Amino acid sequence: MARIIVVTSGKGGVGKTTTSAAIAMGLAKKGHKTAVIDFDVGLRNLDLIMGCERRVVYDFVNVINGEATLNQALIRDKNCNLLYILPASQTRDKDALSQEGVGRVLDELKKDFKYIVCDSPAGIEKGAHLAMYFADDAFVVTNPEVSSVRDSDRMLGILSSKSRRAEQNEEPINEFLLLTRYSPERVKLGEMLSVEDVQDILSLHLLGVIPESKSVLNASNSGTPVILDEKSDAGQAYADIVARYLGEERPHRFIDDKKGFFRNLFGGK
């Protein structure tokens, strides 16, 4: 059975596209045929991170409108032949997506792919809504700061009440926390929330912590998902996350175990 994963956050710029590219590559590298879809119509970032921007001919909106077939629009990744990218259109606005159209494309993808990763745009409007609507699993990307945590909480409320699974009274979406751009030093200085602080507020299963890392910028400049940089801390963190998602047990890394400043400040347990 195919599974649809949405990478979502509410807040912008927290690392959704970076994460989508990394985990889609990770799943494909583990031998699962995977498609990654850019739902950020009008901005189109995923193809840059995946390094396939010069091969984009047709996009997601063309497929929905019947102007191209799925096979014409899907781009095979240059590093892994089990990974395909469905890019977003740069010339349309968000209204070009319809729930019926998105459902149709996902249904078709499900016949052929094991995992379908949906890179959500920021916000809680139509684009973000459509990206999460059909999901089976949600990776909630959160930065260790109060506004990002609050937006993630908001998004979790939407996942549990406005998704297809919620509307049809099915099993709820599996929700996972991905804490990104984490810097133990800044946590120690009290400039960031700690892992425990965030988990205390969100009470959500932690899939992994991705450290703040220069390797992410290097990877996006070279158009290769950071997970392929096996020596980098962020690459290893994403590899751990993919492995845990697939059921392997791996100890958490890149976390400072010291108690968070906020917790001390607010007199937590």
Ligand X SMILES: Nc1ncnc2c1ncn2[C@@H]1O[C@H](COP(=O)(O)OP(=O)(O)OP(=O)(O)O)[C@@H](O)[C@H]1O
The residue ranges that bind another protein (CB under 8 A) are 150, 153-154, 156-158, 160-161, 167-169, 172, 201, 203, 267-268
Nearer to another protein, 3 or 150 (CB): 150
Residue 32, interface with ligand X (CB under 6 A)? no
Residue 222, interface with ligand X (CB under 6 A)? no
Nearer to ligand X, 49 or 70 (CB): 49
Identify which range of 86-94, 206-214, 238-246, 256-264 contacts ligand X by CB under 6 A: 206-214
Crossing angle of the two packed helices 146-162 and 126-133, in degrees rounded to 10: 60
Residue 17, interface with Mg ion (CB under 5 A)? yes
Picked from another protein, Mg ion, ligand X, none, the partner binding residue 148 (CB below 5 to 8 A depending on kind) is none
Residue 12, interface with ligand X (CB under 6 A)? yes
CA-based angle 258:259:261, to the nearest 5?
120
Picked from Mg ion, ligand X, another protein, none, the partner binding residue 62 (CB below 5 to 8 A depending on kind) is none
Q: Which of 239, 242, 185 is nearest to 212 (CA)?
A: 185
Binders of ligand X among residues 121 to 140 (CB under 6 A) are 121-122
CB of 16 to Mg ion, least distance (A): 5
CA-based angle 121:36:217, to the nearest 5?
70
- Distance (Å, whole) CA 59 – CA 74: 8
- Of 34, 62, 89, 180, the one binding ligand X (CB under 6 A) is 180
**Residue 18, CA distances (Å) to 6, 47, 94, 190 in order:** 13, 11, 21, 26
Query: Residue 143 contacts by C-beta under 8 Å, 6 or more apart in sequence?
Result: 11, 14, 15, 179, 180, 181
Picked from another protein, Mg ion, ligand X, none, the partner binding residue 34 (CB below 5 to 8 A depending on kind) is none
CA 138 to chain centre: 8
Beta bridge partners of residue 5, listed in sequence order: 117, 137
Query: Residue 220 contacts by C-beta under 8 Å, 6 or more apart in sequence?
Result: 18, 48, 49, 226
Picked from another protein, ligand X, Mg ion, none, the partner binding residue 127 (CB below 5 to 8 A depending on kind) is none
- The residue ranges that bind ligand X (CB under 6 A) are 9, 12-18, 40, 45, 121-122, 180-181, 210, 212-213, 216-217, 220, 234
